């Protein structure tokens, strides 16, 4: 199999989970999997493949800088990058011809376009996987060339071009198995949360690996109010830890005991998620997949600059079914209190939201995607 896609974790980790799942599936019947990943040298996929021992090659690609103004779309940077695409297609075609895969899996990102086009030229079945509710730009360009389009939500199907709906199948977005196997007590031990009041709910606040200034400011400004009602594990990002530590130092001792600030949450993430009764976070596709698979109530503060405003769309999609609360636009501390307060005060309300979230979850998404890959490869 050739895998292509990356740039961010949203495109990279579903592909990696699919590779691991397919390897395990084949190994159970005595077969092996040869994988080549086509990516970019500076994307996350380069580091992930190196750590996993997956063969990796790069092709030229170009980033389209989007704008509502058509004249700005014809910027010198866009023109220069688009001129690189034909070279990338030629390089990808050479890689596909040499590797001779049974199937190509594309998970999105700019690098997926030349590799996906090369798959069509070489008559290799192409499987697209879309993590968000709406097809990303790369997958929209490749949809007409795909043998199968694996989507993460039923809501995506009516949004697809009519001519490709027959190729679509709902698999969900693959979630790393370890995320689903956490234990609350392990989080308490790993992070030293013994002073937490376990009679209170626990809130996990995260802005992703680098943290999110907007979320940090919102939560930091409401800490005394929040800690009167809950324990808080706050993953703030390395760049924000010092300022928030100074802020936390001014908390009364009784409240400070319920606040755990950390720049980064690593292997203990599954246990932290298991401990959490409520999550406050961005609403990227990977986050949604994990929280719905676990059935976690969430208050989302979408990243406004996300491509195609996809995070806001994701958050609104879950909010519409009662599976989350979406805080959009110019969010204030009062907005946060109005969203979080009723959920902290009412366990039944949290459980109802958890059940609605769970209804969207697909913990078996990786197995479903592997089914699609194997079907396309043998067609």
User: Between the CA of residue 374 and those of 67, 85, 119, 198, 326, what are the distances in Å?
Assistant: 38, 29, 16, 46, 37
| Strand-by-strand arrangement of the 325-326 sheet | 259-262, 231-235, 202-206, 278-281, 298-300, 325-326
Q: Which two tokens stand for residue 180?
A: 């689903």
Task: Name the least confident of 298-302, 307-311, 365-369.
Answer: 307-311
How far apart are the C-alpha atoms of 377 and 207, rounded to whole Å? 38
Specify the higher pLDDT residue, 86 or 273. Answer: 273
Query: Which positions ≥6 away from 356 have C-beta within 8 Å?
Result: 321, 322, 323
pLDDT of residue 85: 80
Report which DSSP code applies to 229: T
What is the average per-residue pLDDT within 319-346? 97
| 118 — pLDDT class (breaks 50, 70, 90) | very high
DSSP assignment of 73-105 equals: HT-HHHHHHHTTHHHHHHHHHHHHHHH--S-EE
What is the average per-residue pLDDT within 170-196? 96
What is the average per-residue pLDDT within 115-124? 97
DSSP assignment of 187-207 equals: HHHHHT-TTS-TTS-EEEEE-
Residue/partner pairs of 224-228 with CB below 8 Å, 24 or more apart: 224/251, 224/252, 224/255, 225/337, 226/340, 227/251, 227/255, 227/256, 227/258, 227/259, 228/255
Name the average pLDDT for the chain.
Answer: 93
pLDDT of residue 65: 46
CA 309 from centre of chain: 14
Kindly tell me the burial class for residue 317, based on how many C-beta atoms sit within 10 Å of its own C-beta (0-12, 13-18, 19 or more).
buried
Q: What is the pTM of this model?
A: 0.88
Strands 36-39 and 298-300: what pairing?
unpaired
CA 121 from centre of chain: 30
Q: Which residues of 110-149 are buried (b: 16+ CB within 10 A; e: fewer)?
A: bbbbbbbbbbbebebbbbbbbbbbbbbbbbbbbbebbbbb
Strands (E), 134-247: 148-151, 168-170, 202-206, 231-235
Specify the higher pLDDT residue, 133 or 180. Answer: 180
pLDDT of residue 76: 63
| Strand-by-strand arrangement of the 2-4 sheet | 55-58, 36-39, 2-4, 104-106, 126-130, 148-151, 168-170
How far apart are the C-alpha atoms of 167 and 261, rounded to whole Å? 46
pLDDT of residue 7: 87
What is the average per-residue pLDDT within 235-239? 94
User: Between the CA of residue 89 and those of 111, 210, 281, what are the distances in Å?
Assistant: 10, 33, 37
For the chain, list the domains and their CATH numbers: 2-175+363-378 (3.40.50.2000), 178-360 (3.40.50.2000)
Residue 72 pLDDT more than 60? no
CA 324 from centre of chain: 16
Residue 77 pLDDT more than 70? no
- pLDDT per residue as tens digits for the range 35-70: 999 999 998 999 999 999 999 999 998 665 455 555
Within a 13 Å sphere around the CA of 39, how many CA atoms are in the beta-carbon half?
27
Residue 373 pLDDT more than 70? yes
| First-last CA distance in the chain | 14
Q: In degrees, to the nearest 5, what angle opens at C-alpha 58 toward C-alphas 57 and 61? A: 155
| 154 — pLDDT class (breaks 50, 70, 90) | very high
pLDDT of residue 256: 96
């Amino acid at each position: 199999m050739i895998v292509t896609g990356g740039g961010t974790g949203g495109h990279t980790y579903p592909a990696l989970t699919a590779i691991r799942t397919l390897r395990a599936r084949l190994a159970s019947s005595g077969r092996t999997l040869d994988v080549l990943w086509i990516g970019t040298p500076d994307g996350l996929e380069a580091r992930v493949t190196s750590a996993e021992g997956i063969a990796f090659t790069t092709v030229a690609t170009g980033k389209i800088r989007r704008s509502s103004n058509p004249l700005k779309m014809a910027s010198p940077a866009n023109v220069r990058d688009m001129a690189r695409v034909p070279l990338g297609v030629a390089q990808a075609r050479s890689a596909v011809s040499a590797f001779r895969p049974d199937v190509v899996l594309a998970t999105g990102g700019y690098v997926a376009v030349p590799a996906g086009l090369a798959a069509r030229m070489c008559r290799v079945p192409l499987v697209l996987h879309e993590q968000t509710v709406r097809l990303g730009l790369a997958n929209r360009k490749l949809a007409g060339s795909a043998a199968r389009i694996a989507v993460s939500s039923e809501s995506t199907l009516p949004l697809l071009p009519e001519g490709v709906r027959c190729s679509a199948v709902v698999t969900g977005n693959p979630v790393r198995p370890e995320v689903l196997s956490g234990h609350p007590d392990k989080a308490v031990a790993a992070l030293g949360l013994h002073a937490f009041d376990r009679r209170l709910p626990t809130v996990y606040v995260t802005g992703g690996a680098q943290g999110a200034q907007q979320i940090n400011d919102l939560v930091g400004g409401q800490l005394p109010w929040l800690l009167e009602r809950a324990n808080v594990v706050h993953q703030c990002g390395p760049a924000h830890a010092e300022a928030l530590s100074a802020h936390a130092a001014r908390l009364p001792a009784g409240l400070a005991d319920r606040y755990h600030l950390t720049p980064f949450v690593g292997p203990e993430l599954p246990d932290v998620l298991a401990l959490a009764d409520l999550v406050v976070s961005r609403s990227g596709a990977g986050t949604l997949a994990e929280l719905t698979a676990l059935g976690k109530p969430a208050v989302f503060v979408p990243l406004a600059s996300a491509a195609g405003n996809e995070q806001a769309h994701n958050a609104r999609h879950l909010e519409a079914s009662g599976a989350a609360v979406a805080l959009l636009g110019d969010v204030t501390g009062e907005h946060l209190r109005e969203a979080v307060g009723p959920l902290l005060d009412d366990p039944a309300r949290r459980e109802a939201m958890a059940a609605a979230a769970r209804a969207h979850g697909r913990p078996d998404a990786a197995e479903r995607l592997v089914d699609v890959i194997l079907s396309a490869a043998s067609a």
